[in-house]
A and B are shown apart, each in its own frame.
Chain A
Amino acid sequence: MAKKKKSRRAKARARQATADPIIRGKEAFHRGHYDEAIAAWEQARQKNPSPTLTAALAEVYFRRGLLRFYRWRQCDAGLLDLDKTARLVPGDPRYAYHLGLAHHHQDNLGTALTAYRLALGADPAFTRAAELAALALLEQGQDPTQDTAWKALPTERQAELSPLVRLVLGQPVLAESPAATSTPTGSAELWQGLAALESGDDGAHKVLQSIAQSDNRPAAVRAVVAYTLGLNALRHHRLAEALAHWESACRLGLNTPAFRDNFFLLYYTSAEQAMADGQWAEAATLADAALNVSSGDRELKDLAAAAHFQAGHADAQAARWDHALKHWEKARELGDNSRALLQNLALAYEKAERFSEEAAELWREVIRRRPRKANATEALTPQQVALLWGHVAECYRRAGNVEEAITTLRNAVKNDPSNTDLRLELVDALAASERWSAASKEVARILKREPNNISALVHAARLDEGYGYLPRARQMWKKVLELDPNHLEAQERLVELLHQEGDRLGRFGDLDGALKSYREALTYTPGESYLYISLAECYFCKNDPDTARREMAQAFALNPADLDTYHMAVDACHVANRPDDAEWVITQATELAARLPAAFYLDLANCCFRRRQTEQGNDYVRRAEQIAEGNADDLVDIAVFYLDRKNDSQALVYLQQALRLDPEHGWANLHVGASYAAALEMREARRHWRQARRTARQTGDEELLRAVEMARQTFEHAIDMLERGMSPFGMFGDVDLEMFDDDDDDDDEYW
């Protein structure tokens, strides 16, 4: 019960305290919440004004005013607070002084002086106010030594400021005296040095140089000294020295109008001089620096643009195209939009392989701005304009903007309808955007003018093929070959089309038609063995095995060691359902070619399985297994065959056999590693992959190297997913280790 009473009393006290604005204000004041404190104490003062409360309010206005003015850069609000402070407690020199200082910052020198005087009136020993009052008077061009504020300064400070006063008022400054150097801030030597240098006495140079280089001096002092040293250098025509001093002054923050004008002019003059001397790059650097001082000057912009144009030209002539590009971009930025610059810029973009729309736009502009009068020096003929349009189109095409490429090519053709190359480019662009009809029409127009133009005929044939007009495509290719019997593309395409036609006719039972097609194809390329095999297949189907065998014999004679030919021949026999002839081909292959590898039989097996000739297929697998014994490569091929058929256990048997024969076999190690990885035995998997990688490096087998890396990444990723509780979506089962399109990404740390 007693506890409850106590708690109630504490709460009541807290409520009372919160209700009391003085206490509330005090709490806010101590937390630094000056707005709250002011609100609370203003409320209290209205109810019950007192000198202590007024003093407290003045202090809080004072603190907020300083914060607003200096930290938050809210100058007007800060000034209002400081003004309020000075009104609340007029007798406090601090408040009057800070009000004066804030006005001084705002260049309200009269108001500042009044406030400084008020501060001195309240406390004559407040010398900070006297010092700034002296400065304010000097800024107004008045002699502070005649003012009452001066008398408030201590004698040594007066001695220190006296040379400053004389320097500013243009009166002779007395030579340095021992008393001057021992003044509180040690600034007398500075004023004396500045005055001496101004009056042409170079003796002060050394002193000022040491001040300029002294880190202990305020930045503003060093800046002014550097500026003065620069002025002196300029008086002696040492431009480079002046520039160095002023760059230093600029870095230190000097920003008076006279300095800005001089600095700008020095840069400008130096840039002009560099231009006159042909020092283009230096001129460009100086002009850029001048632009940093005064960016709006038109004359300077022209100078800078000219310097950059020239510097870029010099760079381009020395094959420094990247530098040239930067200079010309800057020149353009500065307002040079001349045709010459645009052309150079376009060339530079192309040189930098930036066939962007930007380059295209530049070329467009070059065309647009060409002199239109035929007798002008730089006039372009319609043929040249057409070529430029073609070039614009090429830029667009490389930038992937086919539509613009087509539009500009149409412009090109309009300017020079006789330029077949451009018309064919238009055909290509139309075809690339799948406008087959428009492309065909354009080719037809070309062929109407030039019926024997081989390029146009080739385009027409390609378009017909794309469209599926195969008979017409064949006619076009034949015409090309009539005009140019050695035209390789025409030969290849025609043979391919005739072969396709033969196959098509054969499928529909028109065996004579098919034979005719294959024979015609052979007239263009008599050395193609697959055509003889196709002929043989037809003869088998026509029940003429003797002729078929003769055709096959011709195919084998063309390239006796080519296993692909035998493979096609065996397959053709099985298609015609002639297993005995297939055996005859295998006998031929065994006699004429070297040893038949397991892969030969495995490929035949796969073909038989696809045609559902299972028994025959199994027979070929058995033969492969028989010849594979004692040959690691063959064993691996059989393993891969089983892996493809999802028979992993059988595959592993062959892989282990291969490894027993050759423990360093790269592909065997790769696949065994993958089996271990699938069983989550990563240590073993890595061991085999390490071996596979070693072998690949020793034998220079890049394909194997990529396959190992891919297997590693795939399994590591899948295991990482499993460890995170995610499903790898059956990645293990679907990994195709023979797809290695990825770049080789060596990761030695892993190994």
Chain B
Amino acid sequence: MTMTTTTTNTGDPYSVLDLKRGASHEEIRRAYFRKVREHPPETDPETFKAIRAAYEQLRSAEQRTVTDLYLLQAPPPWKPPKYRRSARFDLRLHPEEVLTAAQAFTDFVRDSFRDDYEPVRL
């Protein structure tokens, strides 16, 4: 099994190089050199490594074809639905709620009435 088909590098090389996904080969090259100037290997070796790895993923047309296949997909921007039902709160306290509380002071909330039993005399 070759690496090209098995490896899905899920880091986004385009974002490492600050590029849009459809960037041209020239744009990729320029972005790479710009980034390397910003993060030279002597001062920032870890970032440089990431930049280099990202560039390797996009460098050749073949490799880029594979890279593009396994990129993390951005979710579509979320928009609230145009026709939504009324988003108004009902800010009144309804009798129903008050009566729910009132019932709590009565037999209404009991479920055992053994004390209401009477003995049987036969």
Binding site for B on A (CB under 8 A): 22, 26, 29, 52-53, 55-56, 59-60, 62-63, 66, 70-71, 94, 98, 101, 104-105, 128, 131-132, 135, 138-139, 141, 164, 167-168, 185, 187, 190-191, 194, 197-198, 218-221, 223-225, 227-228, 231, 234-235, 254, 256-259, 261-262, 265-266, 268-269, 272, 275, 299, 302-303, 306-307, 309-310, 313, 316-317, 321, 338-341, 343-344, 347, 350-351, 380-381, 383-384, 387-388, 390-391, 394, 397, 421-422, 425, 428
Contacts and interface: CB of A to CB of B under 8 A. Distances in A.
Contacts of B4: 387, 421
Interface string B101-114: 11111111101110
B109 A310 contact: no
Nearest to A52: B122
Contacts of B93: 194, 197-198, 227-228, 231
Given A56-B122, A168-B95, A347 B101 contact: no
A224 B101 contact: yes
A63 B113 CA distance: 9
A63 B114 CA distance: 8
Contacts of A105: 108
Contacts of B73: 339-341, 343-344
Contacts of B99: 135, 138-139, 168
B91 A425 contact: no
Contact of A347 (B5, B70, B84): B70
Interface stretch (B6-14, B26-34, B35-43, B52-60): B6-14
Give me the 3 closest cross-chain CB pairs, A-B, nearest first: A340-B73, A218-B104, A390-B5
27 contacts: A22-B122, A59-B120, A101-B107, A101-B108, A128-B107, A138-B102, A141-B95, A185-B105, A191-B98, A194-B98, A220-B103, A221-B104, A223-B100, A231-B92, A235-B91, A265-B87, A266-B89, A299-B81, A306-B75, A313-B74, A316-B72, A317-B12, A350-B8, A387-B65, A391-B8, A394-B1, A422-B5
B75 A63 contact: no
Contacts of B118: 59, 94
Nearest to A398: B6
Contacts of A350: 8, 10
A431 B74 CA distance: 39
A394 B112 contact: no
Contacts of A269: 87
Given A104-B108, A343-B73, A421-B2, A138 B94 contact: no
Among B66, B101, B116, the one with the most A-chain Cβ atoms within 10 Å of its Cβ is: B101
B20 interface: no
Given A258-B94, A265-B88, 16 more contacts: A56-B122, A94-B116, A135-B108, A141-B95, A168-B95, A220-B104, A221-B105, A228-B93, A258-B97, A269-B87, A272-B80, A316-B72, A317-B15, A390-B5, A391-B6, A425-B2
A26 B72 contact: no
A164 B102 contact: yes
A272 B100 CA distance: 31
Residue from A22, A194, A391 whose CB has the most chain B CB atoms within 10 Å:
A391
Of B108, B120, B122, most buried by chain A (CB within 10 Å of CB) is: B120
B71 to A, nearest CB: 8
Interface of B: 1-2, 4-6, 8, 10, 12, 15, 65-66, 68-70, 72-76, 78, 80-81, 84-85, 87-109, 111-113, 116-118, 120-122
Nearest to B110: A70
Contacts of B81: 299, 302
A344 B72 contact: yes
Contacts of B87: 265, 268-269
Given A234-B91, A340-B73, A347-B72, A218 B113 contact: no
Contacts of A234: 89, 91
A52 B121 contact: yes
Nearest to A94: B116
A190 B75 CA distance: 50
Given A53-B122, A101-B108, A135-B99, A425 B5 contact: yes
A105 B60 CA distance: 76
B100 A254 contact: yes
Contacts of A101: 107-108
A247 to B, nearest CB: 16
Give the one of B75, B87, B109, B120 with max A CB within 10 A. B75
Nearest to B2: A421
Contacts of A223: 100-101
Nearest to A338: B76
Given A316-B72, A384-B65, A394 B109 contact: no
Contacts of B65: 381, 383-384, 387
Q: Which of B69, B90, B93, B103 has the most CB of A within 10 A?
A: B93
